[in-house]
Amino acid sequence: MPDVTKTDVKTGRVDPVGGAPEVTATVTKPEKTRSLWGDAWADLRRSWIFIVSSVMIFFLLLITFFPGWFTSAQPILGDLSKHYLQKPKLGDVGSADWLGYDQQGRSVYARVIYGTRASVAVGFGTTILVTVVGSLVGMIAGYFGGLVDSILSRLTDVFFGIPFLLGTMVVLNSFPERTTWVVIGALGFFGWTQISRVMRGAVITTKQADYVQAAKALGASTPRIMFRHILPNTMAPVIVVATISLGVYIAAEATLSFLGLGLSGVSWGNDISDGGASIRVAQWIMLYPSIMLSITVLAFIMLGEAVRNALDPKMR
């Protein structure tokens, strides 16, 4: 007698009747593939360079946004009668006396803390500006090609041929008051060329991809193709260059301030310049801002290297 089966009306499951063996089908779910960004994040979480640099940058951002958490002293107030070139008291960690005082009786520790805000603000502001401008110029040149590419490429070459610091010094010298926005604008005016070249090369490669050609065939508009299909797939090398350049712009701001052409307020470059005049008798005035500047630049360069290793498939 053949096996008889019964069907559950509600669930649609077929159960054997009369001792027939039950047959179950195993469905294997396909493994979920990760994108480039997913692979990069997985690599970054295992990179000690990324972890160390992220902790350092997080600490710097805390100092930038909440300097009052680290010191109650004011960086611009000095007392020549009490604190003229007073030596550091390294045992008083976190106090105004910790890193000594400068020629005007101002706390070196307070100036180091509040100088972080100026340097980090200039670094981030300049990086955002050059990334936006350079990405737009490079994307337009690489996508349209022809005469547009020739004009924008020659314009990029002209700005690229101007020495970065020299051109920035000339621009800043024309402003009587050099605020944070003025310094950001001057640095960004000459700093967008490298990102433009990187973006142009990435767009020329990406616009030949099948999904871009399919979007064109479906009648997608040019802005939609550029910003929805090309831009997300060309940002990886731009992010790497921008991250590394952030530390470079912080060092450039300190260099300009050291030469007297940078920020007018509290800045590591200004303190290093002031400390140079008293380096024989008060080395601490220049020493501690220099150490803080080196740590900051090193943190962003390490972060850029970690991001480059994670986003570059050839490094895996």
pTM of the shown model: 0.78
pLDDT band at 173 (very low <50, low <70, confident <90, very high): confident
Whether residue 124 is contained in a domain is answered as yes
Residue 288's CATH number: 1.10.3720.10
73: pLDDT strictly greater than 90: no
Residue whose token pair is 């009490």 = 82
Q: At a CB cut-off of 8 Å and minimum separation 6, what does 302 contact?
A: 49, 50, 52, 53, 56
Q: Report the domain count for the chain.
A: 1
Q: Which of 8, 249, 302, 288 is nearest to 130 (CA)?
A: 249
Whether residue 22 is contained in a domain is answered as no
Whether residue 26 is contained in a domain is answered as no
Whether residue 19 is contained in a domain is answered as no
> If you average pLDDT over each of 121-125, 228-232, 271-275, 307-311, which comes out highest?
121-125
Whether residue 58 is contained in a domain is answered as yes
Residue 101 DSSP class: B
Please tell me the distance from the alpha carbon of residue 281 to that of residue 265, in angstroms, as a whole number. 24
Whether residue 15 is contained in a domain is answered as no
Question: Which structural domain, as residue segments, surrounds residue 124?
Answer: 36-73+96-315
Alpha helices in the chain (DSSP H): 36-45, 48-65, 80-83, 108-144, 146-161, 164-172, 180-191, 193-206, 210-217, 222-224, 235-258, 268-276, 284-311
Question: By CB neighbour count within 10 A (0-12 exposed, 13-18 middle, 19+ buried), where does 47 fall?
Answer: middle
- The pLDDT > 70 percentage for the chain reads 83
110: pLDDT strictly greater than 50: yes
Whether residue 21 is contained in a domain is answered as no
Whether residue 118 is contained in a domain is answered as yes
